[in-house]
Amino acid sequence: MKDFRGKVAVITGGASGLGREFANTAASLGMKLVLADVQAKALEHASEELMAQGVEVLAMVCDVSKGSHVQELADSAIARFGGVHLVFNNAGVGAGGLVWENSIEDWEWVLGVNLWGVIHGVRVFTRVMLECAQRDGDYEGHIVNTASMAGLLTPPAMGVYNVSKHAVVALTETLHHDLQLVDAPIRASVLCPYFVPTGIARSERNRPDELASHERTTASQVASQMVTEKAVESGKVTAHDVARITFDAIRNGQFYIYSHPQALGTVAERFDAIVHGKPPADPYAATPQVRAMLKAGIKGRR
């Protein structure tokens, strides 16, 4: 997909972080925007700023963990703009801690947004895009699912998040194969950012009351939160940089999109261990200070 002007982009998690930068970049390319987010005020602010620049925007409060919300988003996009060309299944949240210490609510919340949100986006919008292609012989579409380097690695004390992002990678790879199987004029990409300064470390603020965990916060959860916040805040690659990288990848039909390709050495070590039947490779082998911080934080609070 190389021609963006006049096309329609749907962006979940579009009010802040990566989603907001996807929106800014899409707007600069002359696209019409459908923005979805659970943060009503931030969504309103983003929408108003973009419309003040002359961008056509449809903004909807949407909980992507609910299929009915995503279906309503798609129906509204078609009603307003008549078609959809580019979809960013981008909304995401995070939770950490030793994997056996996470509550049922932790699992339901993170998997609901990070995995079910992408499942609903793929299930609903792929059908919509295929219908658009039937009406337009020159149609080109693209779906970008936001995973993470945690979808290719298995860092300790991040089990819930790791599981959600590994599933997104598998889902997107399968989507790629399935689209090719039916010769669809739609491409798919999976975005695997590493530590990028966004609000992901503070995503607890958007956790719904019905999924609040009533279990005691553990030392591992506190330590994981501390390490994540420090890593995210110190990231040198910005959300704007990731948006630029992502749109370049869309133009080039690139499937795997990385914000930090230098981290792929650690991914290679993981797959080497898989191929040779070794124990899982240490994702922090190159940064032992991170593992040391985690261990110290957990031991210091027990």
Q: In what order do the strands lie in the sheet with 141-146?
A: 57-61, 32-37, 8-12, 86-89, 141-146, 186-192, 256-258
pLDDT of residue 182: 97
pLDDT-derived band at 168, boundaries 50, 70, 90: very high
Greater confidence (202 vs 151) lies with 151
- Please tell me the least confidently modeled range out of 38-47, 158-167, 197-206: 197-206
The reply to whether 2 falls in a domain is: no
The reply to whether 3 falls in a domain is: no
Q: Are 240 and 267 a contacting pair, CB within 8 Å?
A: no
pLDDT of residue 28: 97
Task: Indicate if the pLDDT at residue 199 is higher than 80.
Answer: no
pLDDT of residue 62: 97
Q: Are 141 and 85 a contacting pair, CB within 8 Å?
A: yes
Count of the separate structural domains present in the chain = 1
204-257 pLDDT per residue, tens: 888 888 898 888 889 999 998 888 888 887 778 999 999 999 999 999 999 999
121-151 pLDDT per residue, tens: 999 999 999 999 999 999 999 999 999 999 9
Prediction pTM value: 0.94
Report residue 140: phi and psi, to 5°. Answer: -130, 135
Q: Within its chain, how far is the Cα of 30 from the centroid?
A: 23
The reply to whether 216 falls in a domain is: yes
- Dist. CA 190–CA 258, nearest whole Å: 9
252-295 pLDDT per residue, tens: 999 999 999 999 999 999 999 999 999 999 998 888 888 888 89
pLDDT of residue 301: 57
Q: What is the CATH number of the domain that holds 180?
A: 3.40.50.720
> Which of 171, 169, 182, 170 lies closest to 257 in space, CA to CA?
169
Task: Indicate if the pLDDT at residue 103 is higher than 60.
Answer: yes
Report residue 162: phi and psi, to 5°. Answer: -55, -50
pLDDT of residue 261: 94
The reply to whether 232 falls in a domain is: yes
The reply to whether 140 falls in a domain is: yes
pLDDT-derived band at 302, boundaries 50, 70, 90: low
The reply to whether 107 falls in a domain is: yes
Residue 2 is encoded by which pair of tokens?
Answer: 């190389």
The reply to whether 1 falls in a domain is: no
From start to end of 108-223, where are the E strands? 141-146, 186-192
DSSP state of 143: E
Range of the domain at 275: 8-300
59-92 pLDDT per residue, tens: 999 999 999 999 999 999 999 999 999 999 999 9
The reply to whether 48 falls in a domain is: yes
Beta strands 86-89; 256-258: pairing state: unpaired
Residue 146 is encoded by which pair of tokens?
Answer: 């936001």
| Catalytic residue set | 161
Greater confidence (41 vs 228) lies with 41
